Structure 1
Amino acid sequence: MISIKSLSKIYKSKHNEVKAVDHLNLNIKNGEIFGVIGYSGAGKSTFIRLLNRLEEPTEGEITINGKDITKLGSRSLRKERQKIGMIFQHFNLLWSRTVLENISFPLEIAGVPRDERKKKVLELIKLVGLSGRENYYPSQLSGGQKQRVGIARALANDPDVLLCDEATSALDPQTTDDILDLLVDINNKLGLTIILITHEMHVIQKICHRVAVMEGGKVIEQGDALDVFMHPKEKTTKRFVQQVMGPEQDQAFIESLIKSYESGKVVRLHFVGESTNQALISELSKTFDININILQGNITQTQEGAYGTLFVHLDGTNEEIEKAINFISKTSVEVEVQSYAE
């Protein structure tokens, strides 16, 4: 468990002060992928650098594995930092060193014997999918390959926690997905906790178990990723969700659907988790004497399950339509009637 209590970072100058992180409180579970999302200036990058004291907090506590790292002296801090790996947006590789030598660097600092270092590094190279490129230099690698080196280097000391500061924002969409898949694989195989900073909701959607939304140095919303996608409360969170799902359908859109049909009912079906895999539409058409038109819909997948909304038009007798709606309401799919036959 990582416990963060009343964490603050204030930058002061002669004429003013900036609260980059403002009394932030979070609990992060062992072994989970926890996302922190926010727009530029939200304080998220400062926050992640506070976790390993690359930035010194103004006040607050950061407890990792039972130790408050804000109270550690320099020698103890160096030891604890070996348990906290970090990967960066722009890779931060040593350009005069090969892949093997870059990954080996933290082991050299830790005083690991040469033969043991090489064995460990070759295992990591295989883990991140860079076998055959041991002797390449960073200039010979693609962006995704450079980030794989960064990930392997961050794992060299067998950390308990991996911090990712905008680790995919410099990559193209396909490479981003490949790196995210790698992080999920590492999380599953090694069981380490991953804290991921991003401004892209796609990243949260794809791999995070839980998420916190930052704005103005504060956490304004947090929860399970699926719950945040389904029920965003804050304006900023809704904007992020729209990056993936598109704009929320307004009343004018719903009324336009209703006016398109003179009979039957327009209903909104809300699918959550396993219910998205149900062949509901097919089952309705086979069971009841109704016609079904799919009008509009969107379903997306998160690490915690899928969710989505579907607008459909049900046409038939009022009795058959009511039977169909009652049938739906007994499943895990939420149903909301938008219009009634006249």
Structure 2
Amino acid sequence: MISIKNLQKVFTSSSGSVQAVDDVSLDIEKGEIYGVIGYSGAGKSTFIRLLNRLEDPTSGEVIIDGQDIAKLRNGQLRKARQEIGMIYQHFNLLWSRTVKDNIAFPLEIAKVPKAEINKRVQELIDLVGLSGREDYFPSQLSGGQKQRVGIARALANNPKVLLCDEATSALDPETTDSILNLLTDINKQLGLTIILITHEMHVISKISNRVAVMEGGQVVEEGDVLEVFRHPKQKVTKRFVQQVMGDKEQDDALEAIVAEYESGTVLRLHFVGEKTNQAVISEVAKQYPVAVNILQGKITQTQKGAYGTLVVHLTGDDDDIQKAIQYISETSVEVEVNPNVE
């Protein structure tokens, strides 16, 4: 569906040049929710603006449904943009227009007949859950409701792709979850390809199928969200995973507790998907003469299933501890022995 090849963007000014996007190549499948995560200055917002030519690339290709957006001009580009919806962090609504008139705006630009506009607008209002607020102005809406208007407007021309630039960053956690649930529903109902730019790992873990991690204008890590959670390779990726799975105060406390143990073995167990429901620890305690002390546990839900970690301390005969570790490993739970708990 989307193939990005050697994409680059260099901004040049009197003070020098800045490489905002540096040789990025990605393939995004039709109908998936693809996350791009990075801290401020990583190049992710420039990257997403290159996908619909709000920024012109310095070089490279952006092929969407067989068409290189980077090469289109004038009328061809306007037509292609109608198939790429975009929602923004700060909504970008027209404050003098009502909800229904904001949603109708791109249809008016496309010169769609009035009767078709009215029908389409009502469909979208129902889809995003704004029935009864058709005649409200943006100033009368909550942040979440404003973003729902932004989503409806982005869907007005039946796009194939929806770009989300920090779409939940201005919202509180509860509203963020409601917007992410809406995007998931839209993805399922419409088969829409969604590309999500964010600096929050919670957003990625909740709805993305795959993720690319950006730093310094480059994609430094990419893969299935669950796999990235289990085995983050880059330092920046580990920091993002820590956002969801970590708690600095708890980790400091855990480190102090572990330091007090003079015997036994500390394990960090990684549970994935349905394995998070297995009663592994209770089975170990039943089958082997070892004492199990649970030190810390964390779990999060991803689009591909639950991912959890559990840190435990085993005491007993060394041979029995090794047998217990072997048993745990055979259940397909990943085991780290004496891990760095920082």
Counterpart of 1:14 in structure 2 is: 14
Q: Which residue of 2 aligns with 1:128?
A: 128
For each residue in 1:73-102, what CA deviation from the matched residue of structure 2 results, as whole angstroms up to 9, or x when unmatched? 211111111110000111111111111111
Structure-2 separation of matches of 1:93 and 1:255: 51
Identity among equivalent pairs (%): 70
Could you tell me how far apart the structure 2 residues matched to 1:20 and 1:83 are? 25
Partners of 1:185 and 1:265 lie apart in 2 by 45
Distance 1:121 1:31 in 2: 23
User: What SS is found at the alignment partner of 2:183?
Assistant: helix
Tell me what 1:228 maps to: 228
Say if 2:299 and 2:307, in contact at 8 Å, map to a contact too: yes
Match of 1:203 in 2: 203
Q: Which secondary structure state, in structure 1, belongs to the residue aligned with residue 164 of structure 2?
A: strand
Distance in 1 (CA, whole Å) between partners of 2:324 and 2:233 is: 32
CA distance in 1, matches of 2:42, 2:88: 18
TM-score by length of 2: 0.92
Structure 1 segment 49-68 matched on structure 2, within 5 A:
49-68=49-68
Q: CA deviation at 1:31?
A: 0.9
Instruction: Give the aligned partner of residue 324 of structure 1.
Output: 324
Whole-angstrom CA distance in 1 between matches of 2:4 and 2:126: 34
> Matched residue of 1:181: which SS?
helix
The equivalent residue for 1:137 is 137
- 1:276 matches 2:276: yes
Structure 1 unmatched runs, 5+: none
Partner-residue secondary structure (3-state), 1:336? strand
In 2, Cα distance between equivalents of 1:163 and 1:153:
12
| Separation in 1, partners of 2:254, 2:94 | 54
What is the aligned partner in structure 2 of residue 295 from structure 1?
295
Which residue of structure 2 aligns with residue 240 of structure 1?
A: 240
How far 1:252 moved relative to its partner? 11
**1:75 and 2:71 matched:** no
SS in 2 for 1:18: strand
Compared CA separation, residues 128 and 102, structure 1 to 2 (3 A): same
Query: What's the CA shift for 1:293?
Result: 1.9
Q: Could you give the per-residue CA deviations for residues 99-158 of structure 1, whole angstroms, max 9, x where no partner exists?
A: 111111111222222222111111111111111111111110001000000000101111
1:257 aligns with 2:281: no
Q: Which moved more, 1:133-142 or 1:221-230?
A: 221-230
Q: Secondary structure at the match of 1:153?
A: helix
Deviation (angstroms), 1:317: 4.9
8 Å contact from structure 1 (residues 254, 338) kept in 2: no
Q: Tell me the distance in 1 between the aligned counterparts of 2:166 and 2:176.
A: 11
Q: Secondary structure at the match of 1:306?
A: strand
Alpha-carbon distance change, 286 to 21 in structure 1, aligned in 2, over 3 angstroms: same
SS of 1:152's equivalent in the other structure is helix
Q: Distance in 2 between the 1:251 and 1:122 partners?
A: 53
Cα shift readout 1:231-276 (whole Å, capped 9, x = no counterpart): 12222212222111226999996695264264x5433222122211
Separation in 2 of the partners of 1:321 and 1:22? 49
* 1:95-106 matched pairs, under 5 angstroms: 95-106=95-106
Instruction: Give the 3-state SS of the residue equivalent to 1:241 in structure 2.
Output: helix
Q: Are the structure 2 counterparts of residues 316 and 66 from structure 1 closer, same or farther at C-alpha, using a change threshold of 3 Å?
A: same
Once residues 11 and 316 of structure 1 are traced to their aligned partners in structure 2, the CA distance between those partners, rounded to angstroms, is 62
CA RMSD of aligned residues (A): 2.3
Q: How many residues align?
A: 338
Name the counterpart of 2:185.
Answer: 185
- Distance apart, 1:285 and its partner CA: 3.2
Q: Is the 8 A contact 1:258 1:266 kept in 2?
A: no
Aligned to 2:335: 335
Matched AA of 1:65: D
Matched letter for residue 292 of structure 2? I
Any conservation in 2 of the 1:258–1:338 contact (CA below 8 Å)? no
Q: TM-score normalized by structure 1?
A: 0.92
User: What SS is found at the alignment partner of 2:45?
Assistant: helix
- Using the TM superposition, name which of 106-115 and 91-100 deviates more: 106-115
Match of 1:307 in 2: 307
SS at structure 2 position matched to 1:25:
strand
Whether contact under 8 Å (1:272, 1:332) holds in the other structure is no
Structure 1 counterpart of 2:212, which letter? A
- Indicate the SS of the match to 1:228: helix
Greater mean deviation of Cα atoms: 207-216 or 14-23 = 14-23
Tell me whether 285-294 or 92-101 shows the greater mean CA deviation.
Answer: 285-294
**Does the C-alpha gap of structure 1 residues 105 and 269 become closer, same or farther in structure 2, counting only changes over 3 Å?**
same
The whole-number CA distance in structure 1 between the counterparts of 2:253 and 2:138 is 54
Distance in 2 between residues matched to 1:149 and 1:255, nearest whole Å: 49
Letter in 2 for 1:207: I
Q: Distance in 1 between matches of 2:143 and 2:233?
A: 36
Q: Compare 228-237 and 192-201 and name the one that shifted more.
A: 228-237
